[in-house]
Structure 1
Amino acid sequence: MNNQKPKYHQIIEAAVKVIAENGYHGSQVSKIAKEANVADGTIYLYFKNKEHILVSLFEVKMGEFIDQIAKAIEENDSASNQLYTLIKMHFTQLSSDYYLAIVTQLELRQSNISLRLQINQVLKPYLTVIDGIIQKGMEQQHFREDLNIPLVRQMIFGTLDEIVTNWVMKEQKYHLVDMAPEIHRMLVSALTSK
């Protein structure tokens, strides 16, 4: 299973679109194959089943996103600036690909426990990046030193996640990225006030 082959990425991109338009349960492998312009059997050369496609597309997209964030964050030495970069990039990534936003905010929320566990594993490196920013802010004495890192991580991720979900549900009626400065101000205020 070489995921460097163009057809793998073709299928991933097709899956994002098909799942966004039809919902996870309404997205048959045959629909994804048709959108990817490949035979149904070709999908099974790369993926075990539809669940594997969903987890893989999240893995690919999240992997690219984490790499971009890690590079961008390296350019900032202040934890506050790093947090702003993370917020802005989170919003930029999802507002630039509405289909992906629908899939990540709505379709990845499956009740299937095994699927949820796999998605949580994919999300871990992103949450680790958030932990690193919080830790750095505490070390720089820019953030309070008594912060509960797991709780703060949940607060930051939960805030960004809910804002994007709301944006998706309201069908992009406002500019998501424009909200980054205010969200950043509110979060930093919570992390610095005694």
Structure 2
Amino acid sequence: MKQSKPKYKQIIDAAVEVIAENGYHSSQVSKIAKRAGVADGTIYLYFKNKEDILVSLFQEKMGQFIEKIQGETTARQTPSEKLYILIETHFDLLSKDYHLAVVTQLELRQSNKDLRLKINSVLKKYLDVIDGIVEEGIREEVFRENINRKLVRQMIFGTIDEVVTNWVMKEQHYDINKQAEDVHELIIEGLLKKK
């Protein structure tokens, strides 16, 4: 498997930095190779082309991201706590890796349809975590039963995603982690069963 090859991670990490700094379209494979400290030809031992690098870096980084979020949410008791930790972990992970935040929030959005489909298949695992939290909340009769589950998922992911995009666009001039509580409160108020 190519992920276990020694230079794979080096190339992925270099690609995140180069694409964040130069934009996807201005990031030549040679720049990525130079940043990774490998010969240009070495890149092609691991990746078919620049698009393959972008998809692979998203799969790799998002895979780690999802694992972390799954681990953190599983360790919580209530659906509300799980939702809070999902928001907090999402903000925390991207605030610690500004280059990755730029790539996920800006560069991946400018991609072609085929690329978006590949990215969406990776993203589905993250959306499954959100669905699981919502379903648990409904089962435990904490969240309203009569909610449009697909719309709720879009609203949760869309809200978290937009807050991060705004933070990236404002060049991180504020602490995004401080917004986790407000975002959680706004979302949870719409989900809670009224007494």
Q: How far did residue 6 of structure 1 move? A: 2.6
Equivalent AA in structure 2 for residue 143 of structure 1: F
Instruction: Tell me the SS of whatever aligns to 1:147.
Output: coil
* Equivalent pair of 2:141/2:193 in contact (CA under 8 Å): no
1:116-135 residue pairs with structure 2 within 5 A? 116-135=116-135
Aligned to 2:70: 70
For normalisation by structure 2, the TM-score amounts to 0.97
- Structure 2, unaligned runs of 5 or more: none
Aligned to 2:148: 148
Aligned to 2:35: 35
The question of 1:183 aligning with 2:193 is answered no
The question of 1:50 aligning with 2:50 is answered yes
Aligned to 1:174: 174
The question of 1:11 aligning with 2:11 is answered yes
The number of residues matched between the two structures is: 194
- Structure 1, unaligned runs of 5 or more: none
Instruction: Tell me the SS of whatever aligns to 2:109.
Output: coil
For normalisation by structure 1, the TM-score amounts to 0.98
Distance (whole Å) between structure 1 residues aligned to residue 191 and residue 160 of structure 2: 16
The question of 1:163 aligning with 2:183 is answered no
Aligned to 2:82: 82
* Equivalent pair of 2:131/2:149 in contact (CA under 8 Å): yes
Aligned to 2:97: 97
* Equivalent pair of 2:156/2:187 in contact (CA under 8 Å): yes
Give the % identical residues. 63
Instruction: Tell me the SS of whatever aligns to 2:85.
Output: helix
Q: How far did residue 163 of structure 1 move? A: 0.4
Q: How far did residue 110 of structure 1 move? A: 2.2
Deviations 1:89-140 (A, max 9, x none): 0000110000000000000012411011111111000000000000001111
Distance (whole Å) between structure 1 residues aligned to residue 150 and residue 43 of structure 2: 38
Equivalent AA in structure 2 for residue 64 of structure 1: Q
Distance (whole Å) between structure 2 residues aligned to residue 13 and residue 53 of structure 1: 10
Which stretches of structure 1, 4 residues or longer, exceed 6 Å deviation after superposition? none
Instruction: Tell me the SS of whatever aligns to 2:3.
Output: coil
User: Could you say what the CA RMSD is over the residues aligned between the two structures, in angstroms?
Assistant: 1.0
Aligned to 1:59: 59
